[in-house]
Amino acid sequence: MLAASSGTLDNMAITNNIALSHGGGIWTNNSGGGGGNWADGWTMTNSIISGNSCTMFGGGIMFAWSHPTVINSTISENTSNWGGGGVFGLESGFTLEETTVSDNASGGGGGGIFVWGPLYGVAPPVIEDCIVSGNETGSNGGGIGLDEDVDATITRTFVVDNHAGEYFGGMVVYGTDATFNNLTISENTSAGGGAIGISEGGHVDLTNSIVWNHSGEYNFGGDGTGSINITYSDIEDGFDGEGNIDADPLFTDVDNGDYSLSADSPCIDAGTADTDGDGEEDITDYNGSAPDMGAFEATMAAPTGFTLYPLETYVTLTWNAVSIDDFNYYIVERSTDVEFADDFVSNALLVNYYEDHDLEYDTEYFYRVYYVAGGSNSEYSDVLSVTLEWMDVDGDQLPTVYALHQNYPNPFNPVTNLSYDLPEDAMVNITVFDMMGRVVRTLVNGQQSAGYKSLQWNATNNSGQPISAGLYIYTIQAGEFNQTKKMVLLK
Would you call the peptide bond into 118 cis, given omega within 30 degrees of 0 as the criterion?
A: yes
Distances (CA, A) of 153 to 36, 207, 432: 22, 12, 66
Q: What is the dihedral of CA 267, 269, 275, 280, to 10 degrees?
A: -170
Structural domain ending residue among the three candidates 387, 421, 438: 387
Residue 249 has pLDDT above 90, yes or no: yes
Q: Closest Cα to residue 433, out of 405, 473, 373? A: 473
Indicate whether 72 belongs to any domain.
yes
pLDDT > 70 in the chain, percent: 98
Domain span including residue 367: 307-387
pLDDT > 90 in the chain, percent: 72
Indicate whether 291 belongs to any domain.
no
Contact 292, 271 (CB under 8 A): yes
Going by pLDDT thresholds of 50, 70 and 90, the confidence category of residue 395 is very low
Structural domain ending residue among the three candidates 387, 405, 429: 387
User: What's the number of domains the chain is made of?
Assistant: 3
* For range 90-114, the mean pLDDT: 96
In this structure, the answer to whether residues 349 and 411 fall within a common structural domain is: no
Q: What is the mean pLDDT of the chain?
A: 92
User: What is the pLDDT, as a whole number, of residue 227?
Assistant: 97
Q: How many helices (H) and strands (E) does the chain have?
A: 0, 49
In this structure, the answer to whether residues 234 and 323 fall within a common structural domain is: no
User: What is the pLDDT, as a whole number, of residue 393?
Assistant: 43
User: What is the pLDDT, as a whole number, of residue 476?
Assistant: 95
In this structure, the answer to whether residues 316 and 430 fall within a common structural domain is: no
Distance, in Å, from the CA atom of 218 to the CA atom of 119, rounded to the nearest integer, reads 31
Contact 398, 407 (CB under 8 A): no
Distance, in Å, from the CA atom of 21 to the CA atom of 444, rounded to the nearest integer, reads 84
Mean pLDDT lowest among 141-155, 183-197, 300-314 = 300-314
Q: Which residues of 303-327 are buried (b: 16+ CB within 10 A; e: fewer)?
A: beebebbeeeeebbbbbebbeeeee
Residue 394 has pLDDT above 70, yes or no: no
Contact 322, 373 (CB under 8 A): yes
Distance, in Å, from the CA atom of 340 to the CA atom of 275, rounded to the nearest integer, reads 33
Indicate whether 113 belongs to any domain.
yes
Indicate whether 274 belongs to any domain.
no
- pLDDT of 458-471, one tens digit each? 999 999 999 998 89
Residue 325 has pLDDT above 80, yes or no: no
Indicate whether 286 belongs to any domain.
no
3-state DSSP helix/strand/coil percent for the chain, to nearest 5? 0, 45, 55
In this structure, the answer to whether residues 250 and 320 fall within a common structural domain is: no
φ, ψ at 375 (rounded to 5°)? 85, 0
- CB within 8 Å of 42: residues ≥ 6 apart: 2, 5, 6, 7, 8, 9, 28, 31, 32, 68, 69
User: What is the pLDDT, as a whole number, of residue 392?
Assistant: 45
- pLDDT of 21-35, one tens digit each? 899 999 999 999 998
Indicate whether 33 belongs to any domain.
yes
User: What is the pLDDT, as a whole number, of residue 152?
Assistant: 97
Going by pLDDT thresholds of 50, 70 and 90, the confidence category of residue 431 is very high
DSSP for residue 260 = E
Q: Closest Cα to residue 228, out of 272, 183, 191? A: 183
Residue 225 has pLDDT above 90, yes or no: yes
Distance, in Å, from the CA atom of 63 to the CA atom of 83, rounded to the nearest integer, reads 12
What's the pTM value of the predicted model, to 2 decimals? 0.71
Residue 441 has pLDDT above 90, yes or no: yes
Indicate whether 270 belongs to any domain.
no
Contact 39, 33 (CB under 8 A): no
Residue 301 has pLDDT above 70, yes or no: yes
In this structure, the answer to whether residues 217 and 350 fall within a common structural domain is: no
In this structure, the answer to whether residues 372 and 410 fall within a common structural domain is: no
Maximum separation of any 2 CA atoms in the chain, in Å: 93
Q: Closest Cα to residue 2, out of 44, 32, 31, 45? A: 31
Distance, in Å, from the CA atom of 473 to the CA atom of 484, rounded to the nearest integer, reads 7
Residue 228 has pLDDT above 90, yes or no: yes
CATH code for position 438: 2.60.40.4070
Compute the half-sphere exposure of residue 373: CA atoms within 13 Å on the CB side of its CA: 18
Where are the extended beta strands (E) located within 36-86? Answer: 41-45, 48-50, 53-54, 61-64, 69-71, 74-76, 79-80
Indicate whether 290 belongs to any domain.
no
In this structure, the answer to whether residues 199 and 345 fall within a common structural domain is: no
Distance, in Å, from the CA atom of 316 to the CA atom of 203, rounded to the nearest integer, reads 59
- pLDDT of 117-137, one tens digit each? 999 999 999 999 999 999 999
- Helix, strand or coil for residue 395? helix
Structural domain ending residue among the three candidates 261, 286, 318: 261
Going by pLDDT thresholds of 50, 70 and 90, the confidence category of residue 329 is very high
User: What is the pLDDT, as a whole number, of residue 390?
Assistant: 63
User: What is the pLDDT, as a whole number, of residue 358?
Assistant: 87
Distance, in Å, from the CA atom of 97 to the CA atom of 155, rounded to the nearest integer, reads 10
* For range 234-242, the mean pLDDT: 96
Q: Closest Cα to residue 272, out of 307, 309, 236, 234? A: 234
DSSP for residue 117 = -
Would you call the peptide bond into 409 cis, given omega within 30 degrees of 0 as the criterion?
A: yes
In this structure, the answer to whether residues 59 and 78 fall within a common structural domain is: yes
Distance, in Å, from the CA atom of 154 to the CA atom of 125, rounded to the nearest integer, reads 8
Contact 181, 209 (CB under 8 A): yes
Strand partners, 471: 488
Compute the half-sphere exposure of residue 330: CA atoms within 13 Å on the CB side of its CA: 23
In this structure, the answer to whether residues 341 and 457 fall within a common structural domain is: no
Q: Closest Cα to residue 115, out of 98, 131, 135, 95? A: 95
Going by pLDDT thresholds of 50, 70 and 90, the confidence category of residue 414 is confident
455 backbone φψ class: left, alpha, beta (φ>0; ψ -120 to 50): beta
In this structure, the answer to whether residues 98 and 220 fall within a common structural domain is: yes
